[in-house]
Structure 1
C-alpha cells in the first residue's frame, strides 16, 4: 500500500521505561487519514454523516482488533488507541486493508512497546507525527513501529506450594500462541474433572489452540488479558490453593504462548495432599473413547477473513467444516479453499443459487435450502399474502443479494418498478431508498444483513410514512432491529428457512436445556450440519475429506436406522459399527440431492415483535418438496465404521463478528451440540 513504512531492523521503537525481563505492553495508535475531501465529495455532507462514519469505523475496529485478542479504547473518533499484545505486522496490515476495503477513508497505524502503556502511546504518537500530518495528502495508510518480537519475555511467576507453573514458549505466530506440536496440558487432580474433559486438556494440539476445559469439544485459543481470569479460575477448580494470589497468576500469563500445569497439586484446593492414580473415581472417562474435537474460527462475515480462517482449518488437517454462513463468504471459501483441498463443507445458512452451481466435485453440501425456492416463496408472499401489485427491490451487492433479488423479480406476478443494489458498510442509504420509492410501489423487497439494515431502515423511515408493505428474507431476521432504529416495523414481514424437521421439538428442548434460551434463525440447520458431518466421519472411520464426502448421503438419506437429535449418540454407535443410518433433522429430513442441497424445505413467515422485544414470531409455515424427496446423488457402497478410541476432527467456520454476528453466536453453539453430546456420553 502507498505510504506504508515499517521500522527498519534494529530500530528501537520502544519507550524509555522498557526493560529486559519485564512484562511490556504493546499499544497501537489508529488515526483516520485525510478525510477532509470525503466530507465535500461529491457534495458537501452533513455532520451526522461524518459522525456516523466515525462511529461505524470505531465499532469495526473494536471487532477487528478484538477478534485478534486486542482491545480498543475510545478516545475521540479520528484517533483510537488499542492494546495489541501479540499482534504482529501482518495482523496490523490485514486490519488496515480491511478498513480500506469497507470505507471511503483509510487509517494509519503506529505500534510501540513499553512497560508503561502511557509511555508506549507517547512513542506511537511521535512516530505517527514524524510520518506527517493527518491532513497531509501524502500521508496515507502508514504502518510504522516494531511489534513485540517472538520470544518476548514475561514476568516469572513465583512458585508457592501447589501453585501453577506457567512455562514460557516462544511466539510462533502473530498472536503469541504455541507452535505446532507443542502441547498445553493441564495436569489434573482426580475428582472434580470428568474423564471426557481430561482428554481435552492433554495431548498434541494445533499450532494456536488448546482444548477448552470448561466446554468439552471446544477449542480455546491462548490469548492475553481478558482470558487470564478464565485460566486462574480453572486452575482453582483443578486444585490450586486459593492462597496463591490472582495477581501473581495473571502477571505470569503474558503475551507469549503458555503451557499450563499444576505442580505438586494432588490436593483438594485447600493445600491438603490427596494423591491418587489417574482417574476420576466414578468410572467415566479416561478410557480413550470416541472424541469429537472441534476447531472454531470466525469468518467476520467477510470473504477474505473467511478464506484465511478456512486455510487455517485446512492447514490443521480438519477434513470437514460446518460453515460458512453468508453466501458472499461461502462461495469463495468453498470454491477457492475447501473443494480444491478436498475438505467437505456443509453450510447451515448459505442459500445462494451459485452454491448449487459450484464445480466442487461433490465436496460442498448445505442444510439450508437454495434461494431458487425462497425467491419463489417471497414472490408468492408479496403478491398473495401482502396483496402488492407493484414493487421495487433493494439488495446487498453480493451473490446472496443479487441472486435472491433476481429469483424474486423473475417469480413476482406483478410489476417490478426498479431493482437497486447497495454496498455494505455505507454511512447513508438515503439516495438508494429514495430511488426505490420513486413511482410509489405497493411494496419493497429488501435483501441484506442486520448491521447495514439498521442504517437502511433508519433512512427509509425518515423518508417514508411506512405505508409500503416491506418483505425481507432471513438475512435481516434480527429481533433487535426495531429497538435499534426506533420503530416497531409493523409494515415489515419476513421469510426464513424453517426449523420444520421431524426432530424440531426435540432439538428445541435440548438447546433450551443446555443454553437457557430459545434457538434462533439457522440454529437447527447448524445442528444438522454438524451432526451429519460427524456421522459421515464416523462411518468413514478416518479424518479424510474424500472418505467423509462419500458417506454423507449414506448417513443422511434413506435407508437405515432413523437417527434424530433425540437419539444422536445411538446413531453414532450404530454407524461406528458399519451400519447405515437415516438422519432425520431438526431443520428438515436432511435428504441431500445430487447437488448437495436439501431435497425438501419449509419456510417460516414471520414478523417483528416491536421495539420493546428482541424477538420475532413465526405466523405461518409453508413446506415444499423437491423432485426427488428422498434425495439423490453419489455415495459409496461400503461403510467401514470406526474404532471408538479415535478422534473425529470437526471445523466450525461461522461469523461471530461482522454483519451476521447476532445470529452467528447461537449458530456456533448449535453446531457444537452434537460434539458435546458424543463427548459427554464417553463412548468406548
Structure 2
C-alpha cells in the first residue's frame, strides 16, 4: 500500500428511524451509550408513484423487502448495535422520497456473530422470505460462510456492511462497504515502523479476519515477529497469551482481535504489570473497551479504523440528524450500513425488475464515477427522473466515495486513533 495523508477525518457513525421488519426476536437499534428498545414496523408503501421503477416478478406493488443479517448478539454485537441505527436512518431517508412511490423494508435476522447462525439467518431470508438483495454480515468469516453456503450460484446480491477480512477480495461476487483489512495491516506496520520498534508480538484471533490481517501484517512489517500466535474467541482468560507476549521480549504488541477478547487481555496484562506499546486493528477499539479497562492501562495505544467522510456535506447532515435523534455522534460502522441501504435502494430504482439478476446489473454502476455525483438518495432520484439508468449516477456515500472495484471492494479511508487520557483521539488519516 502507498500511504499518504488526506483531509482530516473522524470515525463517526449513524442512526435514524425507518421501516424495519424485526425478525428473530428483538433487534437492538442502539449505539453503545444509550440502549433503547425498538419494535418492528413493516412499512406501508404507496404504489401510486409515476416514476419508472423495478417491479416484482409477481407484479406486486407494496414495499420492496431486502434482507439484513446483523450481529444482534455475540462477540460482534457492539458493531451490530451501531449498524442498526444506520439502517433505520437510511430507511427513513429512502422512504421520505420513496422508490417510485414504493417504500423499502428490511427483514432483519441475527447471526449471533457466528458462521453457523449467520448461514441459517441467510437461508431463511433467501429461501423463505425470497429477498433478492442481502446485506450481511459483520464478521468476515460469517459473510464468507453466507456467500459460499447460500449466495454463491444464485442471483442474490450480497453486500457486507462491515467485513474487512482480506480473503473477501478473492470473491468478487461478495461486495462490501467497509475497506479491506489489508489496508489496516499495512497502516499498522507503518505505525510500528515509524515508532522505531525492531520487534513485535502479534496476537490474532483464529478466524478469517484474524488470519487475513495477520498475514498482511507479516508481509508488510520489516522487523522481527518474536511472538505470532492465534487465540480463540470467547475464552474467559487469555493469561497465557499475554504472559507469552511479555516473555517474548517484543518492543511492541500488536492485536488483531475483537473487543471482548482484547479487553480481557488488556485487563490481565495490566494486573500482571506487563507493559508495552500497544497497536491494534479496528475491532479492538470501542467505548466498551475504555469502560472496562483501568485508566492508564491503554495510554498511547494506536488503533487503525475505517473512517467516514466527515468533510462531506452529506455526512455532516447525516451526523446532525443522528445527534438530533439520539443525542450522540454516529460511528463509521453505522455510516457503512447507511450506505448499504441507500445503495440497495438505488439499485432497485434503476433495475428493470425486482429480481437478483436485475439488481446484479445495477448495484455496482450506481456508485461508479461515470455517472453524475449525487450525495443523497433524494438527489439521486431527482437526477434519475422517470427514465434514468444506473450509469447516470455516482452515489457518494456518507462513508465516502464507494466505487466498487472488480473484486467488490470500495475505496477506503482510514483513521489513526491514539488513546490519550483514556480517550480516543484522532492523530492521523490515511487512504488505501
Q: TM-score range by the shorter chain?
A: 0.7 to 0.9
1:291 aligns with 2:103: yes
Q: Give the counterpart of 1:531 among 326, 339, 342.
A: 342
1:416 aligns with 2:220: no
CA contact (8 A) 1:474 1:521 kept: no
- Paired residue for 1:372? 182
Q: Where does the alignment leave 5 or more consecutive residues of structure 1 unmatched?
A: 1-213, 229-283, 625-684
- Paired residue for 1:304? 116
Q: Where does the alignment leave 5 or more consecutive residues of structure 2 unmatched?
A: 1-15, 27-37, 41-95
User: Structure 1 residues 567, 215: CA separation in 2 closer, same or farther (over 3 Å shift)?
Assistant: closer
State the Cα deviation string for residues 109-163 of structure 1 (Å, max 9, x = none): xxxxxxxxxxxxxxxxxxxxxxxxxxxxxxxxxxxxxxxxxxxxxxxxxxxxxxx
Report the secondary structure of 1:375's partner residue.
helix
Report the secondary structure of 2:209's partner residue.
helix
1:328 aligns with 2:141: yes
Q: Give the counterpart of 2:261 among 448, 452, 466.
A: 452
Larger RCO: 1 or 2 (CA < 8 Å, sep 6+): 2
What is the distance in 2 between the residues matched to 1:287 and 1:349? 25
What is the distance in 1 between the residues matched to 2:210 and 2:157? 25
- Paired residue for 1:395? 204
Q: Give the counterpart of 2:401 among 589, 592, 600.
A: 589
What is the distance in 2 between the residues matched to 1:376 and 1:311? 35
State the Cα deviation string for residues 323-364 of structure 1 (Å, max 9, x = none): 211112111112211223321111121111211112xxx532
What is the distance in 2 between the residues matched to 1:331 and 1:523? 21
Q: CA deviation at 1:422?
A: 0.5
- Paired residue for 1:661? none
CA contact (8 A) 2:107 2:125 kept: yes
State the Cα deviation string for residues 420-447 of structure 1 (Å, max 9, x = none): 1101111111111111222321111101
- Paired residue for 1:602? 413
What is the distance in 2 between the residues matched to 1:526 and 1:445? 28
State the Cα deviation string for residues 93-122 of structure 1 (Å, max 9, x = none): xxxxxxxxxxxxxxxxxxxxxxxxxxxxxx
Q: CA deviation at 1:448?
A: 1.1
What is the distance in 2 between the residues matched to 1:375 and 1:502? 30
Tell me which moved more, 574-583 or 447-456: 574-583
What is the distance in 2 between the residues matched to 1:287 and 1:586? 20
Report the secondary structure of 1:317's partner residue.
coil
User: Structure 1 residues 429, 535: CA separation in 2 closer, same or farther (over 3 Å shift)?
Assistant: same
- Paired residue for 1:406? 215
TM-score (norm 1): 0.47
1:478 aligns with 2:286: yes
Tell me which moved more, 508-517 or 426-435: 508-517
Q: CA deviation at 1:502?
A: 7.4
Report the secondary structure of 1:522's partner residue.
helix
What is the distance in 2 between the residues matched to 1:222 and 1:319? 19
1:616 aligns with 2:427: no
CA contact (8 A) 2:22 2:39 kept: no
What is the distance in 1 between the residues matched to 2:379 and 2:99? 21
User: Structure 1 residues 540, 290: CA separation in 2 closer, same or farther (over 3 Å shift)?
Assistant: same
- Paired residue for 1:637? none
Q: CA deviation at 1:320?
A: 0.9
- Paired residue for 1:578? 389
Matches within 5 A, 1:202-281: 216-221=18-23
CA contact (8 A) 1:322 1:346 kept: yes
- Paired residue for 2:356? 545
TM-align CA RMSD = 2.9
Q: CA deviation at 1:387?
A: 2.8
Report the secondary structure of 2:347's partner residue.
helix
Q: CA deviation at 1:401?
A: 0.5
User: Structure 1 residues 517, 438: CA separation in 2 closer, same or farther (over 3 Å shift)?
Assistant: same
Q: CA deviation at 1:223?
A: 6.7
User: Structure 1 residues 458, 296: CA separation in 2 closer, same or farther (over 3 Å shift)?
Assistant: same
CA contact (8 A) 2:205 2:233 kept: yes
- Paired residue for 2:11? none
CA contact (8 A) 2:179 2:412 kept: yes
- Paired residue for 2:305? 496
Number of aligned residue pairs: give it.
Answer: 346
